[in-house]
Amino acid sequence: MDLEKHDFQLEELVERIRNNDNRLVALQVPEGLKIQALEMIDAIEGESGARVILAADPCYGACDLVHDKMKMMGVELVAHMGHSQMNIDSGMPTHFIPVTYDGDPELAGCMPILERHREIAQSKMDSNTSGSEVSEEEAKEMFLDAVGRSSTLEGIKLGLVGSIQHLHLLEDYKNRLEMAGFEVVIPVGGERLTFPGQVLGCNYSGDEPTIGHYLFLGSGDFHPIGLVLHTGKPLAMLDPYTGDSSEMSFERIERILRQRFGLIMAVGEAGSFGILIGEKPGQMRRSLAIRMKKLLEKHGKRGYLLALDHVSPDLIDFYPVDAFVNTACPRIAIDDSTRYAKPLITPYELEVALGEKKWESGYQFDEIP
């Protein structure tokens, strides 16, 4: 990652600190930028006169705003870097510091992938099915088929999305793609998302039936995996850091779906479950956890509510339960389940295991709205 090309926009933060005469400020920085955190502290303290405490615990999203512990330390303002405001209130005044990356990757390498994906979308639209009756075996096949979602397509538009530090590029790339003959939409999602085209690992609510395939501007496969699991639509990736073009393979998604299928089958006979509740403000789904407990009771099983700030194998593996249902960050069950000694599933997967949801509806991503 070329840190020189990042723009850490600290001016507004310094102005806010000065205007409010804040004396003690907490700084929260995403993992990839922590290497620069001390430099940022020097800049903020030097310009504003306030003292800065680095919240040094891991931070993977705006769901994870520091709150009561910092309040107890006397912190007056939280400065949260690299993520955008969500539809949550942590109870602390919070200033979001945008970080943008000044990249200009070539689209040429992406074009053959996008053209192929448009054809896949077209053939999927041509074969839209009416949702006729299916057998149990066919239903399970449909569950495992990454592109076999029951929702029908109404168009083959290219959805243009990105991770937050690249969103300022989207309008320009939309124009370039339109010049190349694509019909492009920058999807607007729900309240958890602040900007058009934004995606989070737990929210792809901008998806719509007229979008047939996607281009993601960003690096890594975290967002692409979630987007394809959620939508079943082909996705090309363009990395502004390296300029590389690639695609998220359906084989990879189907491997994940087979793993989810195996876990759902494995918990069918389980009698007791730990139900994880995330303590982070943007991961706390208490009502969902209680609904899961009631559902387990309805099926004659035990559910124990366990609240954690940070979910990890050493903090839960030892409990004498048969499996865990995770209502905290959805990606813990999807991306990390092999690290846990016992099956770790999402609430939707529990509903399928208990027969409350049908296999033929296809896989349903655990989205936090």
**Would you tell me which residues interact with ligand SF4 (CB under 6 A)?**
60-61, 63, 200-202, 282-283, 329, 331, 368
Q: How far is CA 193 from CA 149, 190, 196, in A?
A: 24, 6, 8
**Nearest distance in Å: CB 282, ligand SF4:** 6
CB-nearer residue toward ligand SF4: 97 or 329: 329
The pairing of strands 245-247 and 235-238 is antiparallel
**Nearest distance in Å: CB 287, ligand SF4:** 16
**Nearest distance in Å: CB 291, ligand SF4:** 19
CA gap 4, 39 in Å, rounded: 13
Taking the CA atoms of 243, 216, 254 and 116 in sequence, report the sign of the dihedral they define: negative
CA gap 286, 100 in Å, rounded: 34
CA gap 154, 202 in Å, rounded: 24
Token pair 């020189």: residue? 4
**Nearest distance in Å: CB 65, ligand SF4:** 10
> Which amino acid type is present at position 78?
V
CB-nearer residue toward ligand SF4: 212 or 282: 282
**Nearest distance in Å: CB 285, ligand SF4:** 10
CB-nearer residue toward ligand SF4: 40 or 200: 200
Are 100 and 7 contacting, i.e. CB atoms less than 8 angstroms apart? yes
Cα 71 to the center of its chain, rounded Å:
28
CB-nearer residue toward ligand SF4: 63 or 236: 63
Query: If you ran DSSP here, which 8-state letter would residue 152 be given?
Result: P
Are 314 and 340 contacting, i.e. CB atoms less than 8 angstroms apart? no
**Nearest distance in Å: CB 27, ligand SF4:** 19
CB-nearer residue toward ligand SF4: 103 or 201: 201
CB-nearer residue toward ligand SF4: 185 or 368: 368
CB-nearer residue toward ligand SF4: 177 or 200: 200
**Nearest distance in Å: CB 329, ligand SF4:** 3
The pairing of strands 323-326 and 272-278 is parallel
